[in-house]
Amino acid sequence: MLTSCGTPVIGLGYIGLPTAAFIASKGIKVIGVDVNERYVEQINKGEVPFYEPDFEASLTGVVHKGLLVAQTETPHADAYIVAVPTPFNDDYSVDTKFIEAAAQQIARELKGGELVVLESTSPPGTTEKMAEFILQQRTDLTATDGRPNSVYFAHAPERVLPGRIMVEMAENDRVIGGLTPVGGEMARDLYATFSNGELLITDARTAELAKLTENSFRDVNIAFANELSIICDKLGIDVWELIELANHHPRVNILQPGPGVGGHCIAVDPWFIVAAAPEEARLIRWAREVNDSKPRYVIGKVLTKAAKFKAPVIAALGIAFKADIDDLRESPSLEIVRELAIELPAASIRVVEPNVASLPERLGGLANVQQQDLDTAIDAADIVLLLVDHSPFKRVDRGRLEEKVVIDMKGVWR
């Protein structure tokens, strides 16, 4: 299965690069392919182009040993792993343009007998579409088990948690769905070379829906917590204590509320189910709407407090979508800061985000927003708005907050 010419991982982002480095750490030669030349250059120097704790040493190690090489060209190989983005369109259906581009690159190289695994999170039927797309380019090939000119396809969704990717890549169980039975077996053999987790074989459509189901389950649970937090605000009850107490029940496990739900998975994947079954996915849609409305609720809370000041200084702690990462995609905190800056032109907003070197474009052009270090921002602030539970924020001396208006959306300073 794995040849000396290397297994290409197509797409070297948050998922593809750790996957490539992880496979390479098992002594298997990996070719990382990305269209982003800057990424390719950085990776070949052993530099991680994004923040992932404890990852740089692993990457540097495999690059220096020559086990991982990054390039922009897709080579021929026996097995391909595709980890390109799967954003959604305006109607929440999946935009497959990155998958199609990767498929086109792979199609040119195929000879028959190869395996193509889609790792990107996708609605049911996407692996099949990728196969159709490849076979349209290559009418000399087929996706029928056992033929000499067959190409095999599978879906192996990724379930790792940003911030713990290197640990979870080794240990997590994996759902592997073959488009055909042989495709599933080949993918299982591939993943068995580097994964310690259980490899659970199914068909491609079930594997696709399994990943979406996992994230929708979490989204619905967080929506429940977010709704509880609003109810608790109204009733004057501490939602964090409430959830802690309720979770002592042996069969209750409520997740934590926050300023909304962000990231590239939980805030996106449920929509793929809604788009696939709009009439049926009522609870899943409603949970999305509850979570998407939470940032507006937070903005309302800040506006009420800010009305007491002529020109409030607001320290906004965290704009990443969750704790201890630098990923700003779909981040509710980022949108909250942006909206506050627009709605409070007289306010000065001091953004503290220890995991990014500079503010993103989305906050560019907003004259009343600047990035500051934690101590300076807290000292200057009238209002301290905690949006993300990054580790350094947990260590803030509570005494420094006594004279401030504190809005803690993560229950860090209870």
Ligand X SMILES: NC(=O)c1ccc[n+]([C@@H]2O[C@H](COP(=O)([O-])OP(=O)(O)OC[C@H]3O[C@@H](n4cnc5c(N)ncnc54)[C@H](O)[C@@H]3O)[C@@H](O)[C@H]2O)c1
- CA angle, 230 as apex, 226 and 236 as ends, to 5°? 135
CB 114, min distance to ligand X, A: 17
Side chain identity, residue 297: Y
Minimum Å gap between C-beta 112 and ligand X is 22
Which C-beta is closer to ligand X: that of 169 or that of 340? 169
Residue closer to ligand X (CB basis): 105 or 226: 105
130: exposed, middle or buried (Cβ count in 10 Å: 0-12, 13-18, 19+) = buried
Integer Cα distance of 350 and 317 in angstroms: 8
Nearer to ligand X, 173 or 343 (CB): 173
Q: Does residue 211 have an active-site annotation?
A: yes
What distances in angstroms separate CA 401 from CA 165, 309, 360, 379, one per listed residue?
A: 34, 17, 27, 9
Neighbouring residues of 43: CB distance < 8 A, sequence distance ≥ 6: 12, 17, 32, 34, 49, 59, 63, 68, 70
Q: In the bound complex, what is the minimum distance in angstroms from residue 275's beta carbon to ligand X? A: 15
| Per annotation, catalytic residue among 45, 65, 211, 301 | 211
Least separation in angstroms between residue 37's CB and ligand X is 10
Q: Which residues pair with 31 in a beta bridge?
A: 8, 69
Catalytic site includes residue 265: yes
Closest-CB residue for ligand X?
Answer: 13
Q: Which is nearer to ligand X, 264 or 350 (CB)?
A: 264
Specify the DSSP element, H or E, that contains 385: strand 383-386
Nearest CA to 166 out of 34, 319, 24 is that of 24
CB of 86 to ligand X, least distance (A): 4
- Contact residues for ligand X (CB under 6 A)? 10-16, 33-36, 39, 83-86, 98, 101-102, 105, 120-121, 158, 160, 162, 264-265
Q: How many CB atoms lie within 10 A of CB 275?
A: 17
Considering beta carbons, is residue 85 or 125 the nearer one to ligand X? 85
Hey, which residues are catalytic here?
211, 265
